[in-house]
Amino acid sequence: MARRIVIIGANASGVDAASAARKKDRTAEITLVTQEKTAGYSRCGLPFVIGGHIAEFKDLVVYPPAFFQMQKLNLCLETKATAINTKDKTVTVQTKDGATEVLPYDSLVIATGADSFMPPIKGREKQGILSLRGIEDGERIDAAVKAGAKSAVIMGAGLIGLELGVGLMERGLKVTIVEMLPQILPQLLDADMAKLVQQHLEEKSMQILLNKSVEEFLGDDKVTAIKAGGEVIEADVFISAFGVRASTKLATDAGIPLGETRAIKTNSRMETEVKDVYAVGDCAEAPNIITHKPVCPQLGTVAVRMGKVGGANAAGDYSLFGGVLASAVTRLFEIEAGNTGLTETAAQRNRIEVVTGAISSKTRADYYPGATPIKVKLVVEKESQRIIGAQIVGGEEVTQRINCISFAIQKGMTIRELAKADTAYAPPLNETWEPMVLAAEMVLMKFR
């Protein structure tokens, strides 16, 4: 009898899980269940459709219907998984026409993702508070812009909040960012590096209000303003970008344990504590490579890697997930920012004694036209002298430098080894001295 694999969720981690399962088992019956109207699309691209860089939301579909047909995957759209019975090994689902079905499984992969988080703010039940998690959310925001909106308030200065803010400004809106913390991009950058990004955004006329908590949504039935830090801020569009929380209700209702992060607890095979049940993507936790503590970074790159491992194992393989550094990059107008490993702040929070060093340089030879500033900050564990983190902010070439240092961290490279790295140079492409090497020299000066 063919192996029956049910996957709840059909975006980044879910589709990659299905693809990996199919590669391992060519005869398995693989069913994907999703509440959404569209499967296999990139959530990360949503702000760039709103900003006009990508023509339509349908262009974000990475896996068209033909892919699911070719792979012999049974895709159930607009179908909600309502219960998991781990004893009987079944998933109860409700179709869009209201019918209830019971799907038996031999292996189950939970890829339910994450949901937008809304703090308990007075007036949050009012109409007109938007968020950006899926295509339909994006279409609502786009419709508000097309309807003549002139201003927007975005609550939260993380990656999605700022990318969406830039997108709305590119569509002609006046944008105000409200953040309760004293800096933007608190998960990505330390305060000194975040300040460089903030300055660039403010030069582009984005208004950024820090250290201000949203206290109330004002208006009758529909929100017309917010109260933050005692100040009333009016706008046409209000967007909640407070972050997301792992979608775990299905799992907890089924008795599947959560971990320290309140996401689903998994082992190195992405297996939960219930036999034959796996969890992948934004709803699942995994160990940080440096601290070895469980984390839930909720990044697309992590989701697809988790999905590949969990899906293969659900089909009978023995594949291991090596953990995460949570490497991430973004581009906001003409500035790029990236991080890998631990920030200085995160290291201190984990009680790791570190030495840091930073250098400001150029992306090309100083005399070559188009050279833009770049700043590299390295975080090094004091005892071992191993690199455990890097942040880079600059006009170009940030991504591959972040990737390079990610490789270095995973290979246990010391700061002395990086300082001796053999790097390439040409006037249109780089300075003679690679900025990462110069930053390593700055750290070594502190060790000396």
* Residue 448: per-residue pLDDT: 82
Give the number of other Cβ atoms within 10 Å of residue 67's Cβ: 17
Nearest Cα neighbor of 335 from 426, 290, 396, 259 is: 396
* Residue 416: per-residue pLDDT: 97
Any residues with CB less than 8 A from the CB of 169 and at least 6 apart, and which? 175, 204, 205, 206
Residues of the chain under the 50 pLDDT cut? none
Give the number of other Cβ atoms within 10 Å of residue 249's Cβ: 11
Cβ atoms of residues 412 and 442 within 8 Å: no
Cα-Cα-Cα-Cα dihedral sign, residues 153, 159, 164, 170: positive
Tokens of 254: 């089924």
Tokens of 320: 């291991």
Q: What are phi and psi for residue 223, nearest 5 degrees?
A: -70, 130
* Residue 234: per-residue pLDDT: 97
Active-site residue, 404 included: no
Catalytic residue among 44, 283, 296, 404: 44
Burial of residue 208 (number of CB atoms within 10 Å: 0-12, 13-18, 19+): buried
Q: What are phi and psi for residue 129, nearest 5 degrees?
A: -95, 110
* Residue 343: per-residue pLDDT: 98
Nearest Cα neighbor of 300 from 87, 74, 108, 40 is: 40
Backbone Cα Rg of the chain: 23
Q: Which domains does the chain have, with CATH numbers?
A: 4-36+78-114+245-314 (3.50.50.60), 129-242 (3.50.50.60), 337-447 (3.30.390.30)
Rounded to two decimals, the pTM is 0.95
Q: Are strands 328-332 and 237-240 parallel, antiparallel or unpaired?
A: unpaired
Any residues with CB less than 8 A from the CB of 28 and at least 6 apart, and which? 2, 3, 4, 5, 21, 22, 315
